[in-house]
Amino acid sequence: PPPPQHQQRLESDADAVRITTLHRAKGLEFGVVLAPFLWTSAGVEWSCARYHDADGTLVLDAGCRDGPPADGARRFKANRDRAHVEALAEECRLTYVAVTRAQHRGVLWWAPTKANRPLAGLTETLLRFAQDDQVGALPDAQLRDERLAEVARRGAPHLAFSRVTGADGSATVPTSRGQAATPLRRGPVPSAVPRDWIRASYSRLKALHEPADVEIGERLVVDEPDPRAQTDADAPPPPPAPERGGGLDREVLLSGVAGGATFGTVVHAVLEHVDFSADDLRDRIAAELARWSARHLLTLDDPGRVVDALVAAVHTPLGLPGGPLTRTGSTALRLADVAPADRLDEVAFELGVAGGSASRPGSAVSVAAIADVVATHLPAGDPLEAWPQRLGAELGGVAWRGYLAGFIDLVVRSGDGYLVIDHKTNTLGPPGQPLQYGHYTPSRLADAMVEEHYPLQALGYLVALHRQLRLRLGAAYEPDRHLAGVAYLFLRGMGGPDTPITADGVCGVFTWRPPTALVVALDELLDRGAR
C-alpha cells in the first residue's frame, strides 16, 4: 500500500486570539492584527515636563520658577512642548510597531476624538502622511475622508479604508481605481459551533468532564498542583502512613521543600538542559537551577538542597538489577548512564484523532472507548489493573475529534529499546509532616498514577512514540522490541544509589510496560475514530 500522507499540524496549543500590548509585541509577527485603540492615547502629565536635554539626560521639570515669573513660565512651556514632541514620537513609534506586526492583514480603527488627539499616534501618522506637514487642528469630516482616501491611494493596492456608517456595522470601502464603492456586511454567525473538534491534551481531557470549563474554553489543569491552592473540599484524602523497614522511614532530600507548578516547571527545565553524564554534574545543575529560578521568579530557601536532590535522582537506578531496565550485566539503568546522543528532550507530538482536520461529526473518540481497550488488553496482576474501570467511571463521558497533542519530557534509547520518561515533583506525603521514602514505594506510586489518571497521559506518549518509530525505522520497526514502556520518576522519592528498594522496585520510580497489543489497539482507535 502507498505510504500514509503526513500533514503539517499546528505548532502550538496557544489561544487562537491573543491580546497583548504594543510593547510586548515588538519583534513578534502575527497572521492577522487588529488594533482598535491606536486613535487613543494615555496622555501626558501637564503639571510637569518629562523630556531629554541636548545631552540625552532625562529631565523632569516640575515647573519650579527660580527667576522672574515670566521667564519661568516661558521656560516651563518650552520644556513642556519638548515633552509633548517626545511623547508624540513614542506614540508614532508604537503605531509603527502595530502596523508592521501583521503578516497577512492588519485592521486599524480611528475616530476623531479631540480629547485624545494631542498624542494619538495613528492620527498623526495618517493625516501627516496625507498632507506632508505637521497636523494642527483636526480637519472637518469631508476633508478627513479626502485625506484618508489619499492615504489609501498612495498605498494601493495594499491599503484601503472603510467608513462605518450605521449601527448594524455596515460600511463602504472606497477603491483606489475609481471603481464603485463596495458595501460590506457582517457575515452570518453559524447557529452551532462543533465543541467536540478540539486540539486536546492530557490536561484538557481531564478538564473536559466539567461542563463549565467547556463553555469558557480550556482550563489548565496543573500536572503537579500546588497544595496551597487547594481548598478543603477539593483536597485529596490524606495518604496512609508510610511503609516501614529497609530505610523506608528515612526522610527524603526534598522533605520540607515547597512544591507547586512553578517549582515543577523549574525542575523540568533544569533536567532538560543538563547533560546527565557530565563529570561536573553538580555544578551544571546548580547553574541551571539559578538560571531558571531567576527566569520564573522562584525563590528557594535552600537551593543547595535542591541541587543535591537532583544529583541524587540522576544517580538513582530506574529498575531492579536484571530487570527490563538493566543496562549491562546486572547493573540497572540510571539517568547518569544516558549520553546526550541517546536522549531526546521535550519531544512535541500532535496526533490526528478520528481523521484530524478531515474528521467528521459522529467520529469522535470517547474516553470510555479508550478505557474499554485498556481493560481488554491489560493482563491480570498488572499494577494498574484497576485503573480502566475508574477511568471509564470518571472521564468516560469525554469525547473528541481533531488532535491529541503534548510534550514528552524525555525519550531515552537503551540498547534496542526506547523508554518514555516523565518527571514528577508531586508531594505524596501528608501536609506538614516530613516526607519519607515510604511515601514513594512503587505500590504508593501506582495509587498516585491512578488518582491523577497519569496512565492516560502515558498511553498517549506511547502511541506518539509508536507512530514516530514506525515512521523513522520503517520495516525494521518491531514494537515488542523497540517500545520499552514508560518510567514516571517521582523525583522527591529518588535518593541516589542508597534509595530503598522493595520487592516491587525502587522508591520514587514507577515503571510500566503495557502490552504492545494495547498500544497498537489504541493507535488504531485514535486513528479511525468511532464507526
Catalytic residues: 422
Q: Is the dihedral of CA 203, 208, 213, 215 positive or negative?
A: positive
* Exposed/middle/buried for residue 310 (C-beta within 10 Å: 0-12, 13-18, 19+): buried
Residue from 413, 395, 509, 505 nearest 456 by CA: 395
Residue from 404, 351, 359, 358 nearest 530 by CA: 359
Counted residue by residue, the chain has a size of 531
Number of CB atoms found within 10 A of residue 510's CB: 29
Residue from 337, 343, 325, 342 nearest 277 by CA: 337
Return all residues near 390 (Cβ < 8 A) that are at least 6 apart: 450
- d(CA 399, CA 333) in angstroms, rounded, equals 38
- Identify any residues that bridge with 365 across adjacent strands, giving them in sequence order: 400
Return all residues near 339 (Cβ < 8 A) that are at least 6 apart: 277
Report residue 231 as a C-alpha cell.
481548598
The DSSP code sequence of 117-159 is GGG-HHHHHHHHHHHSS---SPPPHHHHHHHHHHHHHHHTTT-
- d(CA 465, CA 407) in angstroms, rounded, equals 11
- d(CA 488, CA 325) in angstroms, rounded, equals 13
Number of CB atoms found within 10 A of residue 275's CB: 14
CA distances from 325 to 14, 464, 466, 518 (A): 37, 21, 19, 20
